[in-house]
Amino acid sequence: MSMPRLAHSQQNLQQPAAVHLDEAGEKWARESLQKMSLEQKVGQMFMVWSLARLMNVESPDYLKLRDTVRTYHLGGLGLTVRFEDGILYENEPLEAAMVTNQLQKDAEFPLLFGADFEHGLGMRLKEVTNFPQPMAFGATGNVELARQAGRITAQEARAIGVHWNWYPVADVNSNPLNPIINTRSFGEDPKLVSDMVAAYIEGAHEYGLLTTAKHFPGHGDTDTDSHTATPIVDRDKAYFDDVALPPFRAAIAAGVDAVMVAHILAPALDPNPKHIATLSPAIVTGLLKQQLGFTGLVVTDAFDMGGLTLMFPEGGPAAAARAAVKAVQAGNDMLLIPSDLDASYHGLLQAVRSGEITEARIDESVLKILRAKASVGLDRTAMVDLDAATRIVDKPSSLAMAQEIADQAVTLVRDNHRVLPLKATHAGTNPARNPYLSAAETHNRIVVLVFTDDSRSDSGRLLDQQVKMRIPDANVMYIDPRTAVGMTPPVLDAVQQAQAVIAAIYMAPVPGKVVRDQSDAVMNAMALQDAAAALLQSVLRAANEKTAVIAMGNPYLAAAFPGIQTYVCTYSHAQVSEMSAVKAMFGEIPMPGRLPVTIPNFAKRGAGLGAPAPVSSGGTQ
């Protein structure tokens, strides 16, 4: 039985308001549930990916996605972009809006669109507001900035048809070796993380965006990526009570709409070695729902991740079906990104038909899902106004706020007063070179070494451009693990000649990233790979006193290089953070940030010299 189709017209477009379930929405949710068949109700509990790229409605890709939505009666879709060989292919916001509109128009039921907008829409799209990574917010210590980010992300997300952000990260990053949370966390202080999480939720709600606290019951003290393995948080119950759980309590108190459960083992909370949190009744129902009193949506982390699939080594459709059943039995309401949708859907359907799961249990979850849809106006209309998107997305005021946050996050952890600030030789634009001045005379005065995972990526490009606007003859050299050995002689030669060296290190968590050392053993994905680490060590041995290391992401990297004399953290490789890094290098902005984490054998949480740097002559603001 189909629900009544929503009318779609220019006069019937979304007008996002604060997240709120009114009486009409509650009535719609209950009546819709009563009209649904069992097949339709089970389908509402699944979400799969949809690419944000524009698709012709007659193209095979679109028809396949449309038919999947209809065949399985999906509750919603996760909006994402193509990611191949380490490169993220961002799409335009209007493309995304057109995709969500078209799918809503062709869907049987209004679709709930979710996305991973952890640092704004810039995490997936271009020409949008891109905030720094969450740890940068922690470095500012200013919860109002998190609230502002929530507001801006909500406005932009709703403008393109996304109703639900799978954020904020409520994990307390208490393990410096964490390869997947790291800078995605606000920091290691449960109180700071709690305050930031609550402020973000409140800001997002003001402009109609559903929020998600993740990754329950806390993914912060792991040294394994749950995308590729099953992490174990081998800590006692007191750790969870005092460190991991407070931010989730704060999120619930702030009215968070959903909690995402992690694919991790937590023996102190459930000793069963097969009960990862996602499949654990003790953790999902006992702890989250009963003890913490959470009544909103409980959602799984992606069901195609290794942390879950490794629990079912037999693989195949039967394993996918069994995982879905166990997740619902544990207390989850929505299952995100199943590895085998057909098997998961039919497995759950069969479990209800056989009496293994009651239909009342399914109704409980589906009513929550429908209430969430109604709270963002999907009971009235599902279409977005494309003209409104051009007025809301990428506003200059939003971009300025993102830049302010990045500027306030910059942290001067160590300073030998011999490198920074750099002195600009030209202001503002890249001038024509003097034909009578030999480039060899000045080319190595300032050497900038950009360490990246892949020199083909965009990492370092804006930093390169901005440095050369200030010092046109700066020597910028890109280094990645494949080129580090071959680059060693020219890099060391340039460093020897330089008056000052900047080593900008781009390292950020990448889901599912596997890094191997020279012996082919898996190494921590947040550590510099062997050849690159060896080159940085050689640079520091040769020129430590005249080298400033800039952590464009992972602040913990300094633990492997304890002799660093000048160390700056931006906690992020977003373009606003690149701008902040350059301005800080040239003394154009102060560096007021404070470390929100402890760097072992290097600096304690709260460290930061914080003195405003003198303005460099000829620099730009």
Euclidean distance between CA atoms 233 and 268, whole angstroms: 9
Exposed e or buried b for every residue in 396-416, given b needs 16+ CB within 10 A? Answer: eebbebbbbbbbbbbbbbbbe
Indicate whether 437 pLDDT > 50: no
pLDDT for the residue numbered 307: 87
Upstream peptide bond of 217 is cis (omega within 30 degrees of 0): yes
Q: pLDDT band at 512, cuts 50/70/90? A: low
User: Residues 227, 263, 275, 346: which is the catalytic one?
Assistant: 227
Dump the DSSP string for 211-246: -EEEEET--TT-SS-TTTS--B----HHHIIIIISH
pLDDT for the residue numbered 525: 55
Indicate whether 332 pLDDT > 50: yes
SS3 string of 422-483? Answer: CCCCCCCCCCCCCCCCCHHHHCCCEEEEEECCCCCCCCCHHHHHHHHHHCCCCEEEEECCCC
Q: pLDDT band at 612, cuts 50/70/90? A: very low
Q: What is the DSSP letter of 124?
A: T
Task: Name the segment(s) of the chain with CATH classification 3.20.20.300.
Answer: 23-394
Percent of the chain with pLDDT over 90: 82
pLDDT for the residue numbered 228: 74
β pairing state of 112-115 and 475-479 = unpaired
The dihedral sign for the CA sequence 301, 302, 303, 306: negative
Are the C-beta atoms of 156 and 93 separated by less than 8 Å?
A: yes
Specify the range with the lowest mean pLDDT, choosing from 45-49, 268-272, 311-315, 316-320.
311-315
Euclidean distance between CA atoms 169 and 218, whole angstroms: 9
Q: pLDDT band at 6, cuts 50/70/90? A: very low
Indicate whether 425 pLDDT > 80: yes
Are the C-beta atoms of 260 and 217 separated by less than 8 Å?
A: no
**Among 499, 498, 500, 502, CA closest to 479:** 502
7 against 351, higher pLDDT: 351
Upstream peptide bond of 168 is cis (omega within 30 degrees of 0): yes
Give the other-Cβ count within 10 Å of 387's Cβ. 10
Q: pLDDT band at 439, cuts 50/70/90? A: very low
- The top-scoring range by mean pLDDT among 121-125, 266-270, 453-457, 514-518 is 266-270
Q: pLDDT band at 91, cuts 50/70/90? A: confident
Rounded alpha-carbon distances, angstroms, from residue 38 to 34, 72, 223, 331, 418? 10, 11, 41, 18, 70
Rounded alpha-carbon distances, angstroms, from residue 156 to 48, 147, 152, 372, 399? 22, 15, 6, 19, 12
pLDDT for the residue numbered 509: 76
Task: Compute the average pLDDT of residues 331-341.
Answer: 97
Tell the residue number behind the tokens 């024509």, with chain if given: 432
Residues 188-216 pLDDT 10s:
999 999 999 999 999 999 999 999 999 99
pLDDT for the residue numbered 81: 86
CATH architecture, domain 410-585: 3-Layer(aba) Sandwich (3.40)
Euclidean distance between CA atoms 573 and 544, whole angstroms: 23
Exposed e or buried b for every residue in 370-379, given b needs 16+ CB within 10 A? Answer: bbbbbbbbbb
- CA–CA–CA angle 16, 18, 20 (5° rounding): 110
Specify the range with the lowest mean pLDDT, choosing from 325-334, 382-391, 434-443, 522-531.
434-443
Q: pLDDT band at 21, cuts 50/70/90? A: very high
pLDDT for the residue numbered 436: 38
Euclidean distance between CA atoms 524 and 233, whole angstroms: 17
The type of residue at 517 is D
Chain centroid to Cα 309, Å, comes to 22
| Strand ranges across the sheet with 76-80 | 164-165, 112-115, 76-80, 46-51, 335-336
Question: Is 275 a catalytic site residue?
Answer: no
Q: pLDDT band at 457, cuts 50/70/90? A: confident
Sheet strands (E) in 37-86: 46-51, 76-80, 82-84
The type of residue at 156 is E
- Predicted TM-score (pTM) of the model is 0.92
Dump the DSSP string for 177-215: T-SSSGGGSS-S-HHHHHHHHHHHHHHHHHTT-B-EEEE
The type of residue at 533 is A
- CA–CA–CA angle 205, 208, 210 (5° rounding): 65
Residues 299-320 pLDDT 10s:
999 998 988 988 888 889 999 9
Euclidean distance between CA atoms 171 and 186, whole angstroms: 8
Indicate whether 514 pLDDT > 80: no
**Among 502, 474, 476, CA closest to 490:** 476
Euclidean distance between CA atoms 309 and 228, whole angstroms: 9
Q: What SS3 state is found at 47?
A: strand
Task: Name the segment(s) of the chain with CATH classification 3.40.50.
Answer: 410-585
**Among 564, 550, 555, CA closest to 596:** 555
**Among 401, 392, 11, CA closest to 209:** 392
Question: Is 73 a catalytic site residue?
Answer: no
Q: What SS3 state is found at 311?
A: coil
pLDDT for the residue numbered 7: 42
Euclidean distance between CA atoms 547 and 539, whole angstroms: 8
Euclidean distance between CA atoms 123 and 118, whole angstroms: 7
User: Residues 189, 225, 257, 301: which is the catalytic one?
Assistant: 301
Alpha helices in 547-617 (DSSP H): 575-585
Give the other-Cβ count within 10 Å of 358's Cβ. 11
Euclidean distance between CA atoms 24 and 356, whole angstroms: 34
CATH number of 23-394: 3.20.20.300, 3.40.1030.10, 1.10.10.10, 3.40.50.1980?
3.20.20.300
Exposed e or buried b for every residue in 250-286, given b needs 16+ CB within 10 A? Answer: bbbebebbbbbbbbbbbeebbeeeebbbbbbbbbbbb
Euclidean distance between CA atoms 342 and 460, whole angstroms: 43
Euclidean distance between CA atoms 228 and 511, whole angstroms: 8
Are the C-beta atoms of 474 and 504 separated by less than 8 Å?
A: no
Give the other-Cβ count within 10 Å of 435's Cβ. 5
pLDDT for the residue numbered 309: 86
